[in-house]
A and B are shown apart, each in its own frame.
Chain A
Amino acid sequence: MSRRAILLAVLGAILVALPAFANPYVLSVAILILFFAYTGQAWNVLMGFTGQLSLGHALYVGLAAYASAGLYFHYGLGPWAGVWLALAVCIAGAAIIGFLAFRFGISGVYFALLTIAFAEFTRIGFDHLRGLGGPGGLFIHVSNRETWDLLNLRGPPAMFYYVILFLAAAALAFSTWLLRSRAGYYWQAIRENEEAAQALGINTFRWKMLAIVTSASMTSLAGVFYAFYYNNLFPEQTFNISRSIEIILGPVIGGVGTLFGPVLGALVLTVLSDSITNALAAFGWEFPGVKQVLYGVALLAVVMFLPNGIWPPIARRLKL
């Protein structure tokens, strides 16, 4: 077995065994890490592979969360049904943004602004959607915390942990496969030099559309998870730009475009921010916003000293 396979197997074994010895707090942090590892992986398809900077991925998390939660709230249909609606809504949203951007040659910073704009006006729109709770929020009834009900995503934290662990592992495997497929080659070519990519016969519009739709589809599953894990949704939180930033920090700090960067970035960031908040709390200090300050410092340090992220040098050191 290669070193990479051994490392993955060890990591997988630890993660599978974790709920057996972790206390509820550690488990909740682990769920958060895996959540951001997953969304980071999804975002990475669009930015890391294809070079299109989205600063509005909270849009897909939110749309999917509201779609599935709304279906459950109004019609009693669980996430097994909601996930399809969530997928459809996110694909439609991504297709609209992608079409506007890629058809009319909006790229770089302007593309980023477009993604922010869509997330923002969707947030404002949901503030006015009375049927989905409006600014007061949408709450899902918690009927069962003991037994595993995977179809309805009702159960104990350990169940949510395994669900998000499965998603994160699947996303890693899927991204690995994507990168070695025709799509992976074409996306990277577009990222590196779009004009040259087109000159080699690549329909750049079509492949960029595929990238944004793939990324949004992956993100939509995280949205469904989010809705049924937290059981409450507020437009102000769900679609907030700070959510989008949280999604991209993991891969940016771990290494944009790498396969393991999003996972490592999510781990480092979540553990750091939680331990600092806890350490401060232990001294009786409470600073609102300390997490954001930490994110800023971490981002600054990575951009200055490790512009490719922290994973590539570690991978070299481990000879992976």
Chain B
Amino acid sequence: MSALLEVRGISKSFRGLRAVGNASFEIPEGDINGLIGPNGAGKTTIFNMIAGVYAPDAGEIVFQGRRIEGLRPDRVCAAGIGRTFQIVKPFAGLSVLDNVVVGALLRERSTAQARRLSDALLEKLGLAAKRDLPAASLTLPDRKRLEVARALATRPRLLLLDEVMAGLRPTECDQMVEIFREINRADGTTILLIEHVMRAVMALARHIGVLHHGEVIARGTPEQVVRNPAVLECYLGEEAEV
């Protein structure tokens, strides 16, 4: 598998406080990758640099052989990277369907085609029954599903998921894991997920990177990562004792 996304030594500081320092990793085409780490480790910052929210201070981000660091978020999305937001951002006043149509219009010529694609995605995410409700009326788990449907509507090659499992019950979490497996299998969509919920990451990710104080301290399969002493010390160790 060749790398779909390559992150080479990116750094980012906010007012002198280093959030990410010299982080590197690559994501093979068609893979499901997890990025884990304690609070404040720099996960969301890395995510936002890939998605174009801010440019890295140093380093390169290469997507499909093309450098994308510093591009605006809409360009990054058009290049084929879809994202969800950790703090969900639905278009509250629009219907559930119209939320997804906005995303689908990126690649669909007509609104009619965009609506067809959106209906199919709502079906896949289990939101079909709520398609005409305003997005503001959705519960948190449904809003997370809507985030995913909207990002998928842009037909991404790479899907960035920012803590979509947080706040879900274990059964809901398992459903989501199934949905992502299906998306990955059916469309070959590569997935990078940031997650606190270890249950989901371990079940889903084939490769995991561990971030600590803005640096990648370990990489490998879930089995390798959980046995890595450095990881146990900084992150899993605390949890394992509970």
Give which listed residue, A186, A188, A198, A200, contacts B72 with CB less than 8 A.
Answer: A198
Give which listed residue, A188, A191, A193, A203, contacts B74 with CB less than 8 A.
Answer: A203
Stretch at the interface among B12-20, B88-96, B165-173: B88-96
Give which listed residue, A185, A188, A202, A204, contacts B93 with CB less than 8 A.
Answer: A188
Complexed CA–CA distance, A204 and B73 (Å): 10
B residues 182-213 touching A (CB-CB < 8 Å): none
A278 beta carbon closer than 8 Å to chain B = no
Stretch at the interface among B38-46, B102-110, B234-242: B102-110
Set of chain A residues within 8 Å of B154, measured between Cβ atoms:
200-201
Please state if B74 and A201 are interface contacts (CB–CB under 8 Å): yes
Complexed CA–CA distance, A259 and B213 (Å): 52
Please state if A200 and B93 are interface contacts (CB–CB under 8 Å): no
A192 beta carbon closer than 8 Å to chain B = yes
Given contacts A196-B91, A199-B51, A201-B78, contact A186 B73 (CB under 8 A): no
Interface string of A240-265 (1 = CB under 8 A from B): 00000000000000000100000000
Q: A182-B111, A188-B102, A192-B93 are in contact. List 17 more A-B contacts (CB 8 A).
A: A185-B111, A186-B102, A188-B93, A189-B94, A191-B93, A193-B91, A196-B85, A196-B91, A198-B73, A199-B73, A200-B74, A200-B106, A200-B150, A201-B74, A201-B77, A202-B106, A203-B72
Min C-beta distance of B118 to chain A, whole Å: 11
Please state if A200 and B103 are interface contacts (CB–CB under 8 Å): yes
Please state if A189 and B72 are interface contacts (CB–CB under 8 Å): no
Set of chain A residues within 8 Å of B89, measured between Cβ atoms:
193, 195-196
Complexed CA–CA distance, A182 and B112 (Å): 10
Interface residues on B, range: 20 to 34
Please state if B78 and A189 are interface contacts (CB–CB under 8 Å): no
B101 beta carbon closer than 8 Å to chain A = yes
Complexed CA–CA distance, A252 and B51 (Å): 37
Set of chain A residues within 8 Å of B72, measured between Cβ atoms:
198, 203
Give which listed residue, A182, A193, A199, A203, contacts B105 with CB less than 8 A.
Answer: A182
Complexed CA–CA distance, A192 and B135 (Å): 11
Complexed CA–CA distance, A188 and B151 (Å): 17
The 4 closest A-B pairs by CB, nearest first: A192-B91, A201-B77, A196-B89, A201-B106
A74 beta carbon closer than 8 Å to chain B = no
Min C-beta distance of B71 to chain A, whole Å: 11
Set of chain A residues within 8 Å of B153, measured between Cβ atoms:
200
Complexed CA–CA distance, A182 and B107 (Å): 12
Complexed CA–CA distance, A199 and B52 (Å): 9
Set of chain A residues within 8 Å of B102, measured between Cβ atoms:
185-186, 188-189, 197, 200, 202
B157 beta carbon closer than 8 Å to chain A = no
A181 beta carbon closer than 8 Å to chain B = yes
Please state if B74 and A181 are interface contacts (CB–CB under 8 Å): no
B144 beta carbon closer than 8 Å to chain A = no
Please state if A192 and B74 are interface contacts (CB–CB under 8 Å): no
A3 beta carbon closer than 8 Å to chain B = no
Min C-beta distance of A10 to chain B, whole Å: 28
Which of A185, A197, A203 has the most CB atoms of chain B within a 10 A radius of its CB? Answer: A185
